[in-house]
Chain A
Amino acid sequence: MTDSNGSDRKFKWVGTRPIRHDGVDKVTGRAHYGADFDLPGMLHAHVLRSPHAHARIRRIDASKALALEGVKAVITSDDIPELPLDEASGPTNFSDLSRNVLARDKVLYHGHAVAAVAATSTRIAQEALSLIEVDYEPLPHVLDIRAAMAPGAPILHDHMRTKGLKEAPDEPSNIASKMELTRGDVDQALAEADFVIEREFETATVHQGYIEPHACVAQTNEDGQTTVWASSQGHFMIRAYSARLLRLDISQIKVIPMEIGGGFGGKTTVYLEPLAIVLSRKTGRPVKAVMTREEVFRATGPAPATLINVKFGANRDGKIVAAKCELFYEAGAFPGSPVAAGAMCILAPFDLDHFTIEGYDVVLNKPKTAAYRAPGAPPAAFAAETVIDEIARELEIDPLDLRRNNAVSKGSQAAYGPKFSDIGLIETLDALRKHPHYEAPLGENQGRGCAVGFWFNAGMQSSAEVKLNEDGTAVVVEGCPDIGGSRASLAIMAAEELGIDVYKVRPVVADTEAVGINDNTGGSRVTFATGMAVIEASQDVVRQCCERAANIWDIDAKDVIWQDGCAVATGDGAKKLDEEGKLPSMPIAEIAAGAARTGGPITGKASLNARGAGPAFAVHLVDVEVDRETGKVDIVRYTTVQDAGRAIHPSYVEGQMQGGAAQGIGWALNEEYVYDADGVLANPGFLDYRMPVALDLPMIDTVVVEVPNPRHPYGVRGVGEVPIVPPIPAIANAIHDATGVRMRKLPMSPPNLLAELTRAGRA
């Protein structure tokens, strides 16, 4: 693979907007999602969930349930292997995952899975749940992050000791780990700064809110071979996790990816699949498990509530000189909040010589958090970008100028360590400055705010095959579920390399046995990493085509190049063909048609661990209108500017920018988990977990900046994560502009904003 990112290259398909190849299936209702699949003789599974936020399980008696006609099996944690507490690989602890899938000894949150039933109908399975008798010993619970860290707090895990402390503690704690990033001498730099601003921020637990509930079907044959049909962000992950949890060989499980109805990070782990597999093994029948919406809210990974303290020091000349940050993130019932990512992101946009960042991962009696779009970054940006806005006001500097003065660029050392290569922060700031929105007049009770967001983006493993058909059309086989148009982007890259029409390429998301390992669709990696694999596999096909042509022409392969889907003879080869009166060009269709007689099928393969993911920056601008009597905020205008490196399919890049902004707007204004005193989620549905509806949003303007990523053949950066990072601070800054009130607690809902307005005498 070359380092040239094609900035000099003329593209035929890259940057065009073909209709996605899976589009017709999805507008006609033909596409099959997780719950759209049945098998003959299939049983239906439902999960019994804890009515307590924290309790010891004394006894489970399923005899009455098993006696109900139509009930075929009931399983508890006794039916799955108990894993050693320290069984982990990378950030995933499989003992915790096993105990999350089915509670063992203790339930750690309201909704924690306790048992599962397989029956001949969903109604019978649901009735059976009400017949399972569980003897609980309720324990004191803790729902607040401060309380969870306080001495004497109810301890969730007796074996847990805080990691990352200077000397290892011997007392159990709910603080799972502490991490730290430092540079320079922050205390001295703060002491020398012209002024210092210190603030505390709080954000609420929120959910990814994908519209498709988790769903799967599992079937196990008499020989122990299991097939799982599931919608997820990674069927290889489903396979690996299920095998690990159930102590099965990976070769015993095949996972067939269904279309996925949204994930945003929430479908990067397993909940139902291991249960369906065990039930299918127990009953010898196919088992389907589909969550209700209520279960999705109560028991799947939300994004953490957080508590963040930041202290910024700045000089009158507009230079930010030092920052001190403390981040406390709720992990939920098991360790593993995205606090490390939050800590690494919080100062990433700033060129800073002196800082300390501390991150704490805290467990409490809420569901185990899962990844949510740029995991950990939005709360961190809320804190940093709101204080930056305060500094700009204090200094009476334009907020974009202040950010530009302190912005990282190529060669800057990122707060999280390494030096940046080519990045587009300054370019995005300048693009927004030029946008008409930036100078547009504001109406009464309106205000304007902006904020910057950062995300690393990811590489990881991808595999792809490009198969040349007999007529010169092609099939792209890869293994990343298409969550937002990636089939189209990957087909575009294959078409670009092969030099054929994009509609002559069929992209296929293959099952775990039909293509090499692909890591999850997540981390904004598919177009980057899997795209890289598709490009390499296509180049492999091109190389083979050139060889075939050389053999047919009986000339030296080095004299054959690839142009617009044709092998073209050059140099001596071209001379020879000219003497023989032959055309020096051979189209791919001709090479494909003759393949059988020139060496057999032509298939290109690539499996790689993609390096060189390009960090993404975005800057958002929002106008709000505030009803000072009710505290209601309306979003009246929204503009997003983002460095995409290279937009392969601009429509879907814009779509990611708009969708991320909309999720950020919901997070900022109304979304929150509301718990009652018993630790029961009070709003486990779309009626009271208030995600934005069409009427809540304006059109969302997008400006795609392209600073090519030098480590991708086309210059691609990930685009999916970063758009959710700036909205919260941008809106908080706009509310301040409109009302003079600083919101430092989420959500900025009407009651919370009206309370602040009243306190400030501005209602």
Chain B
Amino acid sequence: MATVILPARFSDWTGGVEHVDVDARDVRQLIRALDERFPGLGEKLRDGVAIAIDGEIINDPLLEPVEPDSEVHFLPPISGG
């Protein structure tokens, strides 16, 4: 199962849980699973966030594949100069 690290700013939804193991093949499934576990969190994760999957930052992903051993982080979106 992929390991998701949830930043402190989502603690309103996660109740402070920081690490969750999620069974998902892509980002959409992963967010769905998180939303089931932490109702309302999904919406926060769907728009305007960047996600790092195994260290690779992707802005606004949806169907990006997630490996069983992946580590997933949610980040604020970054704009470049």
Contacts and interface: CB of A to CB of B under 8 A. Distances in A.
B78 A344 contact: yes
Interface in A686-730: 711, 718, 720-721
Nearest to B48: A90
Contact of B57 (A89, A180, A456): A456
Interface string B37-81: 000000000011000101111111000100000010111111111
A415 to B, nearest CB: 11
Given A166-B12, A182-B8, A611 B80 contact: no
Interface in B3-17: 5, 7-9, 11-12
A371 B80 contact: yes
Interface SS of A by simple majority: loop
Contact of B47 (A90, A371, A611, A612): A90
| Shortest beta-carbon contacts, A-B, top 10 | A523-B80, A265-B81, A417-B73, A340-B76, A418-B52, A373-B81, A418-B55, A522-B80, A371-B81, A458-B80
Interface of A: 88-91, 164, 166, 179-182, 208, 263-265, 268, 338, 340-341, 344, 371-375, 414, 416-421, 456-460, 520, 522-525, 609, 611-613, 711, 718, 720-721
A414 B75 CA distance: 12
Contacts of B5: 417
A438 B72 CA distance: 40
A90 B9 contact: no
Contacts of A264: 81
Contacts of B9: 164, 179-180
Interface residues of B, number: 27
Contact of B54 (A180, A340, A344, A418): A418
Contact of B81 (A414, A421, A720): A720
Contacts of B55: 414, 418-421
B75 A416 contact: yes
A704 to B, nearest CB: 20
Nearest to B61: A609
B54 to A, nearest CB: 7
B79 A371 contact: yes
Most buried by B among A91, A374, A420, A711: A91
A720 B81 CA distance: 8
Contacts of A416: 73, 75
B77 A711 contact: no
A599 to B, nearest CB: 33
Nearest to A414: B55
Contacts of A525: 80
Nearest to B52: A418
B25 to A, nearest CB: 16
B76 A179 contact: yes
A524 B71 contact: no
Contacts of B11: 166
Contacts of B77: 90-91, 340
Contacts of A609: 58
B4 to A, nearest CB: 11
A90 B58 contact: no
A591 to B, nearest CB: 36
